[in-house]
Amino acid sequence: MKPSRLGKDELAAIFAGSPFINWLNLRVISVDYQAQTLEVAVPMRAEFERKAGSAQWHGGPLASVIDTVGDFALGMLLGQGLPTINFRVDYLRPAINTDLQVIARVRRAGRSVGVADVDVFNDSGQLVAIGRASYATLLTTPENKS
């Protein structure tokens, strides 16, 4: 049985149903199955600040956004969120007083491991961070549950 793909509405429902992802306030902008990309907008909030009143994004929320959007770029193709195996982030410039646009591209969707690259842009279109993550793509189904 082939897994069903997740569209914008299904992804929004999954995001809303997870207390942590809901707290990040991710908004799905576009899903492109052919290009295997997921685009998400993330508004700045005071809880994300590196230092109170600085309007500068802390690296922790940025890393969480990168991991989540990369996960669901693969997950939109496979019909569910996936466990993270490993990920890395390179912070290229401070994200200050800005919302973020995040674009994840699936690089590999293998039987057991998938890889996604994630670009994070500020309101001016400048690249502020990049990430790459690998995820376990073996689907949890009644047939292969342990």
DSSP states of the chain? -PPPPP-HHHHHHHHHHSHHHHHHT-EEEEEETTTTEEEEEE---GGGBSSTTS-BBPHHHHHHHHHHHHHHHHHHHHTS---EEEEEEEE-S--BS--EEEEEEEEEE-SSEEEEEEEEE-TTS-EEEEEEEEEE-----TTT--
What does the pLDDT read at residue 4?
Answer: 85
Q: Which fold has domain 8-136?
A: Thiol Ester Dehydrase; Chain A (3.10.129)
What does the pLDDT read at residue 41?
Answer: 98
Q: Could you read off the pLDDT of 91-134 as tens digits, one per residue?
A: 999 999 999 999 999 999 998 999 999 999 999 999 999 999 99
Q: What pTM was computed for the model?
A: 0.90
Mean pLDDT calculated for residue range 6-19: 95
pLDDT for 143 beyond 60 = no
